Amino acid sequence: MAKIDPLAAKLNSDTYLGFDFGTKKIGIAVGQTTTKLANPLQTIASPRQIPNWQLIAQLINQWQPLGLVVGISVQHDGKDNPVTPRMRKFCRQLNGRFNLPVYQHDEALSTFEAKQILYDELHLSASKLWEVQDQLAAQLILQSWLNNYSKFI
């Protein structure tokens, strides 16, 4: 798999991709530092709990991001929950495969908040909710990161 040259991307972009990692599916969002706006992009299924690296590579090649932001969940006391080690592994894999900086960002309640917006406010059906909640959660994670961008770079 071809590696992305981060220097070349930096010359042409202020774009970041955000990820809401889950074992069954991964929500992805895109945002820019100049506008400080994130938008939902896509939900990718993870067959057999393995990320679809081919689709992720296509999105990275298409958007040429400067970096990747991954939501990391921990328990209220700051300790890892059962899925946290898999989230951190996903971060290492993203960095290793695409040679881009990966920023871990607290995703506290992002999926819950996404469900609240989609179900309570927009009244989406359960099947549509399942389809888009993770990309909205990725948007919320990336938006939070962009709002605090200067702290991370």
Question: What is the token pair recorded at 95?
Answer: 């960095």
Reported as half-sphere exposure (CB side, CA atoms, 13 A), residue 29 has a value of 31
- The CATH number of the domain holding residue 88 is 3.30.420.140
Cα torsion angle, 116, 72, 63, 48, sign: negative
Cα–Cα distances (Å) from 31 to 41, 107, 123, in that order, read 10, 16, 26
Residue 98 in any domain: the answer is yes
Q: What range defines the domain where residue 60 resides?
A: 6-152
Distance (Å, rounded) from C-alpha 71 to C-alpha 88? 10
Residue 22 in any domain: the answer is yes
Q: Which residues contact 43 (CB under 8 A, 6 or more apart)?
A: 25, 26, 27, 28, 131, 132, 134, 135
Give pLDDT, residue 7: 43
pLDDT digits (tens, 9 = 90+) for 120-152: 555 556 566 667 778 888 998 999 899 887 666
Distance (Å, rounded) from C-alpha 71 to C-alpha 111? 10
Lowest mean pLDDT among 42-56, 59-73, 128-142: 128-142
Residue 128 in any domain: the answer is yes
Average pLDDT over the chain, rounded to an integer: 83
Domain count, the chain: 1
Residue 1 in any domain: the answer is no
Question: What is the token pair recorded at 119?
Answer: 């179900």
Q: Which residues contact 90 (CB under 8 A, 6 or more apart)?
A: 19, 21, 51, 70
In which residue are the tokens 């909640």 written? 133
